[in-house]
Structure formats: structure tokens, C-alpha cells
Structure 1
Amino acid sequence: MSVAAILNSKGRDVIAERGETLLGDVCKVLGKNRIGAILVTDPEGHIEGIISERDIVRAIGESGTAALSEPVSRFMTSKVVTCAEADSINEVMAKMTAGRFRHVPVLEDGKVAGVISIGDVVKHKIAQVEHEAEQMRQYITMT
């Protein structure tokens, strides 16, 4: 299965902020939307970085609550690993495991087509296994 299958079922909405957005404001957006990461983009929509809950915890651990009044660009991860819609789910899982991150932007023709999380991948894998098990049950009962 491909990344496109996940995006087709979960949607392609992407929430992004600019690098000058304050970390505290990013926290509000994360909470309001019940998501774990936000892309940081330039005015043209190109990815400059990603800020995750983990990055925020690290920022507060290093700078205290004063970090919340700083621009998100100070704390974001700037080397963002991406994938394409045609990539297999196994390839993306391997990237997530190797890099120890939970969110991957999906690029198509150089533009952001969506973001998938480890939760999206696991949910899709579970549905796939359940479907295969049901197919196996049907096959066994037919013989």
C-alpha cells in the first residue's frame, strides 16, 4: 500500500505556520486541532521546518516558559524528512523508525500534499490486517 491510500482516507488538510509565529501560539493551534506537529513554511508554502510536541517539550526544558514567547523558527526541526504519495507505507515506517520521529510531510511535484503520522500508519496497517484476516476466514469457510 502507498502513502496516497492513507491520504485518501484521512484527508489532505495541512496546518502550517510561519517561522515568526510565537511558540505559545503554535501550542494553541496544536491543542485546538488535536494534532502533534505543524509545518513551518515560507510565504510561498515551501517547508522551512516542522515543530512537534517533542520539540516544544525540549524548548521549555531548555528555556523555561520564556520559550513560549520566542519565534517557532528557533525551536523547529529544520531538516525535515519527507515522502511522496507513491512511497510504500513500509518505506515511510522505516524512515520514521530510523529518524525517531512521528510526522512526515508528503510532497507531490514539490508541493505539500499532506502530512501523515505514525498513528495514521498504524491505523491503516491494523485495517489492512483485519481485512486480510476476514478474507482468510471467508476462504476457509468456503472449503
Structure 2
Amino acid sequence: MLVEDLMSTDVVTVGSAASLREAVGQLLEYGVGSVVVLSDEGNPVGIVTESDALRAGYTTERPFAEIPVSKLAHHPVVTTQPSTTIQSVATKMGDNDVKKVPVMDGLELVGIITLTDIVRHLSAIRVEAGEVATSPDEWDLD
């Protein structure tokens, strides 16, 4: 199974000049757990999660409108491609301790894959892995 099979194509974004208030507004409006922070050129430069928003508000005791997303976005952004296997992206998530990975097709942001996406489809992933592991009759041994 590939990333393109599970990724969401509706990626919620904010510009790097946005405030945390704007980012939280996007989180609430779209009912998502993270926003991808984009540079002026449209490249992902960070991710801000619900937990980041809560932590920033609590630790700084500043209004969200005064906190720039560029100061708290996770850098560097771990990305993947649509043609990457789910196993590979899951390993990348674990290695980098991230739960959300923007999907890039060249220089274009085309989606996002999350740990939740993978968990929701775990049964299908296991079935596919089992089929691959138990299909020696398809091997060409001649």
C-alpha cells in the first residue's frame, strides 16, 4: 500500500507570517489536528499542531494573536512522496518522532499522511502484507 492510497488531499495551511490565532482558527474551522506552515513560495516550512497551540498559550501566557506560527512550527519538515510505501513512511515517522507528514510531488504539496490514517487502515495494510508474504506461486523460479 502506498501513501497516495491513504493520504488526505485537503491540506490545511497557513502562511509563515500568520499568528497562532489564525492557525488555531484553521484547526477549528476544518476540524483537523495540524496546519502546515508555508513559505511565501508555497513550500512547507513547518507544522503546528493542537498540542503546540496549547503549549504555546500556556507557557508564554500571551494572546494567540501575538504568537507567530514561525516561532513554534516544527522544523525541519519531514516530507514524503505519494509513491512511498506505508511501511517506509511509518518508519520515517517513528525515526523522526512525528505523527503528520506532508506529501510532496516534486515541489508541490499534494497531501498529508498522518499516524491516524495509518492506524485506521491497519487491517487492510496487514491483509496486503500477508498476501505479499504468502504468494510464492506467483514467483518465477525458472
TM-score normalized by the length of structure 2 = 0.80
Is residue 3 of structure 1 aligned with residue 3 of structure 2? Answer: yes
Q: Distance in 2 between matches of 1:55 and 1:126?
A: 31
Question: Given that residues 11 and 112 in structure 2 are in contact (C-alpha distance below 8 angstroms), is that contact kept between their aligned partners in structure 1?
Answer: yes
Q: Select which of 34, 38, 42 maps to 2:35.
A: 38
Deviation at 1:35, TM superposition (A): 0.7
1:73-112 → structure 2 map (5 Å cutoff): 73-112=70-109
Amino acid at match of 2:60: S
Q: Distance in 2 between matches of 1:50 and 1:132?
A: 31
What SS class does the counterpart of residue 97 from structure 1 fall into?
helix
TM-score normalized by the length of structure 1 = 0.80
Q: Number of residue pairs matched?
A: 130
Deviation at 1:65, TM superposition (A): 4.0
Is residue 71 of structure 1 aligned with residue 68 of structure 2? Answer: yes
Q: For structure 2, which runs of at least 5 residues remain unmatched after alignment?
A: 131-142
Deviation at 1:44, TM superposition (A): 2.4
Amino acid at match of 2:39: D
Deviation at 1:126, TM superposition (A): 2.4
What SS class does the counterpart of residue 83 from structure 1 fall into?
coil
Q: Distance in 1 between matches of 2:123 and 2:37?
A: 31
Identity %: 27
Is residue 54 of structure 1 aligned with residue 51 of structure 2? Answer: yes
- In proportion to residue count, which structure has more helix? 1
What SS class does the counterpart of residue 20 from structure 1 fall into?
coil
Amino acid at match of 1:96: M
Cα RMSD (Å):
2.1
Q: Distance in 2 between matches of 1:32 and 1:129?
A: 34
What SS class does the counterpart of residue 90 from structure 2 fall into?
helix
